[in-house]
Amino acid sequence: MRNLISLTQFGGVYHEGSSTMADRPLALVTGASTGIGYELAVQSAKNGFDLIIAADEPAINEAARQIQSLGSSVVPVQADLATLAGVDQLLDAVGARPVDALLANAGRGLGKGFLDQNFDDILHVINTNITGTVYLAHQIAKTMRARRSGRILFTGSIAGFIPGTFQAVYNGTKAFINSFSFALRAELKDTGVTVTCLMPGATETEFFERADMLDTKIGQSEKDDPADVAKVGFEAMMKGEGDVVTGWKNKVQATVANILPAGMLAEQHRRKAEPGYSEKSKSRR
Ligand SMILES: NC(=O)c1ccc[n+]([C@@H]2O[C@H](COP(=O)([O-])OP(=O)(O)OC[C@H]3O[C@@H](n4cnc5c(N)ncnc54)[C@H](OP(=O)(O)O)[C@@H]3O)[C@@H](O)[C@H]2O)c1
């Protein structure tokens, strides 16, 4: 019955204070149709949160159906979070209900050389990863600060520590998110609102296919399990930790990135992200 009520609420019949929606904490998870975001939503459901989940494609509705089977009320919102109007659509779905946890995870990559990328795609990456994320955080964090309670998790990346040759714009957006997350955390110190940055390394999701990076070494390499990554991130958020790099190999990479000169890191990244990689070309690199 709860599931039916939730889907009805998505249709706009949500009444503030209804017993199904008001008694449990609410998590808002963006980019929850697949990958790390889907698993963050699963973690939220398993830990007693009701959910509003968002993504750009209709697959978000199927994700909601699956997550509801874990016993949470889940409201799917299909909106392009690269636009302020799309973020407003998500905020409308939240309405007046307090958000206890914001998991701002939606993001996309973009491979190939900067000058060979389409500028609309470049803008879409910047607007999804930065503009929409920052606008959503601005709106939700204000209400958290006023209530003196809330948790925010940003999905940054260890890519934010490394100049991303053949993924230059994406890595730049993640450098922004990593930095922004630490700064916001410091600003909100003593307000009852915690800010955590989840910084995964390469993870087995649809990310590399969507970024047109399947012909790269990193696109073809073995990657981390998104369920493991999300669990580590969710737990760090619940503990109110500042940041978490998932997996020991990524921890080493993040540490090395703080020591090596940027030019050297950029050359290392070329080897991982340069297009045209295949088993055949492996011996030449
Ligand atoms: N995979 C990795 O190696 C890796 C490593 C470090 C950090 N990350 C970060 O992890 C986050 C999740 O990525 P993932 O690896 O799980 O990739 P993914 O499987 O491609 O998931 C991306 C999610 O974001 C949503 N999304 C993308 N653009 C959107 C937009 N404009 N509006 C609304 N939703 C949008 C997608 O939904 P639609 O399909 O509906 O657009 C999808 O739900 C991203 O921020 C990414 O930068 C990934």
Best residue among 155, 174, 177 to mutate for probing ligand 1's pocket (most ligand atoms within 8 Å of CB) is 155
Stretch 249-258: mean pLDDT, rounded? Answer: 92
Per-residue pLDDT of 80-134, as tens digits, reads: 999 999 999 999 999 999 999 999 999 999 999 999 999 999 999 999 999 999 9
Task: Return the pLDDT at 17.
Answer: 36
Confidence of residue 23 (pLDDT cuts 50, 70, 90): confident
Contact 219, 277 (CB under 8 A): yes
Ligand 1 pocket: which of 34, 51, 125 to mutate (most atoms within 8 A of CB): 34
For the Cβ of 246 lying below 6 angstroms from any atom of ligand 1, the answer is no
Say which residues have a Cβ less than 8 Å from residue 253's Cβ, sequence separation at least 6.
Answer: 158, 161, 162, 201
Active-site residue, 277 included:
no
Question: Distance between CA atoms of 218 and 158, rounded to whole angstroms?
Answer: 14
Hey, which residues does 26 pair with through a beta bridge? 50
Is the CB–ligand 1 distance for residue 24 below 6 Å? Answer: no
Q: How far is the CA of 1 from the centre of ligand 1 (A)?
A: 31
Q: What is the reported pLDDT for 281?
A: 61
Rounded to the nearest 5°, which phi and psi values hold at 152? -125, 135
> If pLDDT is split at 50, 70 and 90, which confidence band does 9 have?
very low
pLDDT in tens, 190-230: 999 999 999 999 999 999 999 999 999 999 999 999 999 99
Ligand 1 atom, smallest distance to 210 CA: 20
106, 124 contact by CB (below 8 A): no
C-alpha of residue 95 to centroid of ligand 1, in Å: 24
What pLDDT is stored for residue 280 in this prediction?
Answer: 55
pTM beyond 0.85:
yes
Nearest CA to ligand 1 atom 36: 31
